[in-house]
Structure 1
């Protein structure tokens, strides 16, 4: 299925307008794949016909469906295992040492279909030193469809195989027909919300750890600056922000890199 340059620009424009995310010209191949199912499901003859209908503005639901199709939801359980090793071995112990109230708040921003948030929940549940702690995990994404799947906690065989060891799969998931479902106790430990990173943070107060991985790199520069400001307001003064591989907050006066993480600049230095 081919898409004309004019339609590709229109799709990229509506995605940026509605979500702040960029769709570089080099990713037009992904655009074609992403829209193929939508074209068939809605009975259009081509993606260009979809673009014309969206441009006409007569069907807001179609525009929403296009945005859902174009959002990049690439994720997996324990994606980038070294990041989760750092989370368990460095970040969580340092935060625990500074929390006499024995409460830990974590935000997975841009959680897609939930594998990252559930991976965090698994890692924390396996940490015996957190027994008796109040652990609050909040996960958000701009995609309503992604959040619906995350709340359901139901994953296909190939999704489970991407990152989950057989032992962890057996411990935390149960068979559900031809797929797998996260056990109820683990599902209940994560609260999922549809939310843009540019919106107000999920709850009043601040988070001890924020995972915002492979999100900032998809924003235009001005949108990225606003997102970083949002993170700065949501993180505790001694908290940690984890970014994706290759991402950086360089140029932001609110954060400083430390041991592979981003830490808020102390108020006396800001």
Structure 2
């Protein structure tokens, strides 16, 4: 994609919103703190009945339906290299939520490769923000077609910096570490600076960091299918989290949970999160250390 990405995202967003191709889900939110980490809990606004209907439509999708083959042209931002397209999420909870989709069908359980990370790096080298991946249904993937995801990082919302605080900044790129106070299995890998970097070099660096993090966790990073896991990247770090299941007490958790972003379809489930505690909830869908 040769044109600047953010204006193209906004142009596609505005046109798709006007035509009805984009169907955002409006939410309310609450900040909940656990272990010194702020978690943003979102739920569908009770004032917006149409958004509840949109959420129901998204959850009722035929599991054999592939919305990315081909993607809706009204939601398609443009190419990211030869193998990927940038496509807006049709039912976004977060504005400018971008999907990085393989042009041909590739299973979501296949290992991420250099081309996948290079496409992600094209986005992050220009825009920063938060990249993430749900490796399999147990990790929160809602589609079988391989797609990474990106959202802008906001002051109030999911952000990896809430979990990288205190990690050794002086580690050279490719080095791995853990945060001792996080109760689930994970591995962080240091990355070179994303913003302004060459996307191809950065994609190789992302992939190297991914393989090293997987090796540290005993995850087979080249096996088909891979065991379920989440990946997040931002703020100079990449983290891999093995997963054991998608739900805890009817609450579905995807990668954004491990960046402090949780979503519930009904407001009464906020009390469930409050009772369990966000850290314990995340540990229950991951693997306890």
Q: Please, what TM-score do these two structures have when normalized by structure 1?
A: 0.25
Query: Relative contact order: is structure 1 or structure 2 higher (C-alpha 8 Å, sep ≥ 6)?
Result: 2
Rg larger in structure:
1
Where is the helix percentage greater, Structure 1 or Structure 2? 1
Q: Please, what TM-score do these two structures have when normalized by structure 2?
A: 0.24
